[in-house]
Amino acid sequence: MSRNFFGTDGVRGRANIEPMTAQTTLRLAMAAASVFARPGGHNSVVIGKDTRLSGYMIESAMVSGFTAMGMDVVSTGPIPTPAVAMMTRSLRADLGVVISASHNPAADNGVKLFGPDGYKLSDEIEAEIEARMDAVDFPMPDAARLGRARRPEDAIGRYVEYAKGAFPRGLSLTGMRVVVDCANGAAYKAAPAAFWELGAEVITIGNLPNGLNINDGCGATHPERLREEVLRHRADLGVALDGDADRVQLIDDKGALIDGDQLLALIADEAVRRDALRGGGVVATQMSNLGLERYLAKRNLTLARTQVGDRYVVEHMRAHGFNVGGEQSGHIVLADFSTTGDGLIAGLQAAAALKLADRPASEVLHRFQPVPQILKNVRYKGEMPLEMVKVQSAMKDAEARLLNVGRLLIRKSGTEPLIRVMAEGDDPKLISSVIDDLVGAISATQG
């Protein structure tokens, strides 16, 4: 079965426009319930969301869909994506749902689904759910077997304790000043609490969500303000989460950005030091910098690459026994603690490394020199540009120019109508020329 509804990270789109409408998300809930509900069993689902205004509409629709199918609903309110994955397992629920468009603007929204094991669903299960959404009628329980909905009081506290449990036992962040940018998103309460409870002096920004300001000039996709605050407060570390807190970017004490690739190198080194790294290396995507691959190779560690999307990273980790993986964008998956990307846990690992090293972040967190890499996005409408003859010819020419001296990746975004064009290599002039030619060829198709 094919998937047209689901992308690389669930369903996503503009709120109140198909497919992100009350009607369609209600059908999505009913279809998911028909796949995961156990006949005659006590069926339940955990629903969390970020701080978007449209979350109220979609949450209400999905609660209606699940309860109509006889599933009890635990609605946590705003809470990070990894918290929903954790609570799905902890509460022995049949399904987990996150209502979020992650790093996208407030006008967008989305739905991510987790199985009872806390892992994102496979392509095959998503395709099955999608096929069932077209069903004319669902088998409905009688009135006495309708589901109930409740909102627990301890969801954020449970997640904070879970995140702190991944921090080295006996270590404290006392004496460390940390600026935390919550992106006006799902972790606006949990992230500052976790750092403070572990002993840090915490300065919090991006913690006043109003339903419309999520990711707006803040968070992991806009770390400029965090950089300013780190320098202004002379902080030891800056931590920027995205809207649903499954990714993180860091700022060191001198204002430099530390991306997911540097974090993977740091965490791999720390795991080797503790003799805790499994799989002989790290799993990342095609987007990760060649510099990371070279850095790991010098340490006799491998870099296994997957297609873009943290769930593909997780699938490879599970299949081949790795316990560290992630994406350059800051999705860091630590299988010893979590089943999905967790920006807070990753940020805490970096803070722990600073305390253990007793050196500044500018000395500890930059593990390798990245190879020059350029990524540009081209927005498109209508026909897919990558299927056009002129664009395919330009792609072949670019691959020939980079043969044995660089790497090229061109892909359609799974969350937005964008073509992402990335090239890297040791010659920055060549990389820039290749990117400009490709972007020009794709842009020319848009009139």
pLDDT tens for 142-200 read 999 999 999 998 999 999 999 999 999 999 999 999 999 999 999 999 999 999 999 99
pLDDT tens for 51-66 read 999 999 999 999 999 9
Give the per-residue pLDDT at 153.
Answer: 87
pLDDT tens for 274-292 read 999 999 999 999 999 999 9
Positive or negative, the Cα torsion across 79, 80, 81, 84?
A: negative
Q: Exposed, middle or buried: residue 196 (CB in 10 Å: 0-12, 13-18, 19+)?
A: middle
Active-site residue among 54, 102, 329, 338? Answer: 102
Q: Exposed, middle or buried: residue 209 (CB in 10 Å: 0-12, 13-18, 19+)?
A: buried
pLDDT above 80 for 415? no
pLDDT above 70 for 86? yes
Domains and CATH numbers, the chain: 11-152 (3.40.120.10), 158-257 (3.40.120.10), 263-338 (3.40.120.10), 373-446 (3.30.310.50)
Q: Give yes or no: 102 in active site.
A: yes
What average pLDDT does the segment 419-447 reach? 91
Q: Exposed, middle or buried: residue 414 (CB in 10 Å: 0-12, 13-18, 19+)?
A: middle
Give the per-residue pLDDT at 57.
Answer: 98
Tell me the β-bridge partners of 281.
Answer: 302
Beta strand pairing status for 149-150 and 177-181?
Answer: unpaired
- How would residue 417 be classed by pLDDT, with cut points 50, 70 and 90? confident
User: Residues 6 or more apart from 439 whose CB is under 8 A from it?
Assistant: 376, 378, 421
Rounded Cα distance, 187 and 82, in Å? 10
328's tokens: 């350059």
- How would residue 429 be classed by pLDDT, with cut points 50, 70 and 90? very high
